[in-house]
Amino acid sequence: MTTRLVLMAALPIAAGFLAAAAQPAAPRPAYLISNLRVIHPDQLGPFRQASGPLTQKAGAEGLAAGNPALHVLEGAWSHTGSVVLERYPSMDGLLAFWNSPTYQDARKLVAGHAEVDFVVAIEGQVAPQPVAGQPPGGAQPVAGPKPAYLIASSRPIHPDQMAPYRAAAGPLARKAGLEILASGNPTQHLLEGAWTHAGGLTIERYRSMDDLLAFWNSPGYQEAKTLRAGLVEMNFIVAIEGR
């Protein structure tokens, strides 16, 4: 249900901050992140009926929906309700869908039944590398653990001094199945609500929540984290389980 509500210059975080190679000019997927509170779930039937065919035509993939407060890994999460993460084939396609008169009319059916803190979109990587045992881009395999998504808001202070951190954290994160999906400035595509966090936004995917948490809480990564102290300010780092 919440997936269809579609109302949801960073550096990668966990291994994050891995050096990013220049990307060739090619269509990139776009990721829509929304934070919302459903007030009257039994009243959202008309919205689902109106918006469902539109999101399907736009190529939307529901990747995750959950409560980030369950896994606040760093910083402070000041929002309540659920976060919804969706993937679209391109930013142009996502914006065309969102701004279409038909979808704007459908959104009116949500009024009074849900509250939205923010809906932002950021452009993804070109052809992200797949996690072992799972297809790329967030699609879930027929069998196996559900992926986990790490969402981070950060403000780099000394990005030129991050090499030691990357060298220490990178291998640990990759072992947990790290896939960097997107990294960018959410204020460029603030579609609804208000974005109150300075800096950029990063989305990473891991093989499973167990793998992500084991990596994050490992002595090796906790030691590696000390190498980025004073080099970046973290607004929040949260994790939600995928579909």
Which pTM was predicted? 0.85
* Per-residue pLDDT at 127: 55
Q: What is the pLDDT of residues 166-209, one digit of tens each?
A: 999 999 999 999 999 999 999 999 999 999 999 999 999 999 99
- Describe the crossing of helices 45-57 and 91-99 by its angle, rounded to 10 degrees: 140
| In the predicted structure, residue 21 carries a pLDDT above the cut 60 | no
| Total tally of structural domains belonging to the chain | 1
By the 8 A CB rule, do 54 and 109 touch? Answer: no
Q: How confident is the model at residue 27 (pLDDT cuts 50, 70, 90)?
A: confident
Share of the chain above pLDDT 90, in %: 80
| In the predicted structure, residue 93 carries a pLDDT above the cut 80 | yes
* Per-residue pLDDT at 25: 62
Longest dimension (CA), the chain: 53
The domain that contains 111 carries what CATH number?
3.30.70.100
| In the predicted structure, residue 97 carries a pLDDT above the cut 90 | yes
Angle at 42 between CA 39 and CA 46, to 5 degrees: 105
Average predicted confidence (pLDDT) for the chain: 87
Structure tokens at 120: 């932002």
Q: How confident is the model at residue 126 (pLDDT cuts 50, 70, 90)?
A: confident
| Residue numbers of the domain that contains 59 | 2-241
Q: What is the pLDDT of residues 198-222, one digit of tens each?
A: 999 999 999 999 999 999 999 999 9
- Calculate mean pLDDT across residues 73-78: 95
